[in-house]
Amino acid sequence: MDRSRVAEVFPELTSIDDQSLREGVADAWTTAAGDAGVEDLRTVPWLPPTMAELGIEDEPLVEHVRDVTAGSLALAEAVLTRRDAPLSVDTVVAGALVHDVSKLYEFNGMDRTAVGDLLGHPYYGVHVVSRAGLPVELAHVVLSHTRRTAVKPATLEAEIVRRADEAAAAAIRATAVEDLREA
């Protein structure tokens, strides 16, 4: 898979102004897909154990990542409408696009791999984005986007991606339960 295929799957990529960020995001997905032997990113499931538990059969990771990117961008734009906040929209979009890239290493189809089992989500993502030449601010967005690590968002960009991810994940869970406290 080359960079252009990543832009086909994630059209939001082209909205990143900073060329090194844009290429780094594309490289992270390209490398991850190559390492995982994934030909088409659209075939990768969102979160196998949760999908099995909730009886959700078809939920592509790509759709979730696009939801998170759209939600993050909307939040960033809303914040910037009335406030001169210390916020890079490029970092928000790039962070949203790579926040779950480690899932390609954590699962093989619906099965958990040694990376997923021994490292958990999303520690390996830090390695993936760093190897792709992305800055530490992007690694921080990845590491702090979930309660599965002890690292909390230190930046507004990381906070936005975390909240957008929570909302997007809740939107998936809400298709399976009436009360989100049960999911």
Q: Can you give the binding site for Fe ion, defined by CB under 5 A? A: 100, 165
Closest alpha carbon to 93 in 118, 127, 117, 70: 70
Q: Closer to Fe ion at the Cβ: 85 or 174?
A: 174
The tokens for 139 are: 């690694």
CA–CA separation, 76 and 83 (whole Å): 11
Which of 2, 168 has the CB closer to Fe ion? 168
Write down the least CB distance from residue 147 to Fe ion, Å: 12
Provide, rounded to whole angstroms, the least separation between the CB of residue 122 and Fe ion: 8
Q: How far is the CB of 52 from Fe ion (least distance, A)?
A: 17
In the bound state with Fe ion, the residue whose beta carbon lies nearer, of 106 and 165, is 165
Instruction: Compare residues 27 and 165 and give the one whose CB is closer to Fe ion.
Output: 165
What 3-state class would DSSP assign to 163? Answer: helix
User: What 3-state DSSP class applies to 148?
Assistant: coil
Q: Is the peptide bond before 122 cis (omega within 30 degrees of 0)?
A: yes
Q: Whose Cβ is closer to Fe ion: residue 23's or residue 100's? A: 100
CB of 154 to Fe ion, least distance (A): 19
Contact 91, 138 (CB under 8 A): yes
Q: How far is the CB of 64 from Fe ion (least distance, A)?
A: 6
Q: Provide the β-strand partners of residue 60.
A: 45
Q: How many CB atoms lie within 10 A of CB 167?
A: 14
